[in-house]
Amino acid sequence: MKESTDTVRQRVAKSQRKAIGVDADIKTANLKRLRRIEGQIRGLQNMIQEDRYCADVLTQLGAVQEALRAVGREVMRNHLRHCVTSGIRAGGTDAESMYDELIELMYKNAR
């Protein structure tokens, strides 16, 4: 099924959005966490390559997932502090769009 021109434009517009405000310390901490996670992923690849014991691999997978959740919590906190607050304060359709986005994010990220 071919995408409509409007759908493509909306997807491109969404991919080019920027955060309204990003705390520099949180950004630095998140980048450090992500680099650490990147190293953990490489370690997992090696564990799989070396046929390591399944329980050990699963333990490391759990550690990576928890580390990613920690980054997600910080990104969500920043989103709520800046982007959501701004959208809701703007009122009108911006507020309505923000409420819809929050509901969608909660469903996508609920555990």
Q: Mind listing the pLDDT tens digit for each residue in 5-40? A: 555 455 556 667 888 888 889 999 999 999 999 999
pLDDT at 21: 83
Task: Provide the sign of the torsion angle of the four alpha carbons 94, 96, 92, 81, taken in this order.
Answer: negative
Q: Residue 39 and residue 28: Cα distance in Å, rounded?
A: 17
pLDDT at 4: 58
Residue-range domains of the chain with CATH: 23-109 (1.20.58.1000)
Task: Provide the sign of the torsion angle of the four alpha carbons 78, 80, 84, 88, taken in this order.
Answer: negative
Render pLDDT for 55-108 as a digit per residue (tens, 0 to 9). 999 999 999 999 999 999 999 999 999 999 999 999 999 999 999 999 999 998
pLDDT score of 2 more than 70: no
pLDDT at 13: 61
Look over the chain and give the mean of its residue pLDDT values, rounded to a whole number.
Answer: 88
pLDDT band at 1 (very low <50, low <70, confident <90, very high): low
